[in-house]
Amino acid sequence: MAIAAKLEKYLKNLGVKYKVVTHPHSSYSMDTAEKAHVPGDALAKGVLVVDEAGYLLMVLPADYEIELDTLQKMLKQEVTMVNEATLADVFDDCETGAVPPVGMAYGIKTIWDPGSSLGSQDEVYFEAGDHQSLVRVSGEQFHELMAPAERGEFSHHI
């Protein structure tokens, strides 16, 4: 697959300069970082949650985890993680679980934790839509990609 069609179209429409980096098949974010020889704090992951208004894509580094209580306080409402079937429906041009952290490409409200290590990276990597490809962009391009996203601190390093 290399790169999901919706993601590719979105990146091209914005004129984002990127490179697709391949790696051995991986199953979860830190496994991806290890197999791609990428620091976990430079690999952005997208975690899909749902609240009463709909889906939200939370963006944080692979070596961070969401603080659900903090997130719910920030949003002033309950959120729940979605299941794999929902992921497959929402990200229908991606392999299940290979969620690009660019929710805007899918019409999904996106919230980025800029207090995490992603805010200071020279290069940022993220899922391209399958379990063997990453998109590499400059830190500056990543900031531009996240410009429409809301910001909030909701995660911590693991």
pLDDT tens digit sequence for 22-74: 999 999 999 999 999 999 999 999 999 999 999 999 999 999 999 999 999 99
- The CATH code belonging to domain 5-157 is 3.90.960.10
Q: What is the pLDDT of residues 113-157, one digit of tens each?
A: 987 888 899 999 999 999 999 999 999 999 999 999 999 999 999
Could you tell me the pTM of the whole model?
0.96
Can you give the pLDDT at residue 98? 95
Question: Is residue 61 within 8 Å of 41, Cβ to Cβ?
Answer: yes
Question: Is residue 5 within 8 Å of 93, Cβ to Cβ?
Answer: yes
Residues 6+ apart with CB under 8 A from 149: 59, 103, 104, 110, 111, 112
CA distance 6 to 40: 25
Of 106, 117, 99, 89, nearest to 148 by C-alpha is 106
Whether the predicted pLDDT of 1 surpasses 80: no
Quick check: helix, strand or coil at residue 19?
strand
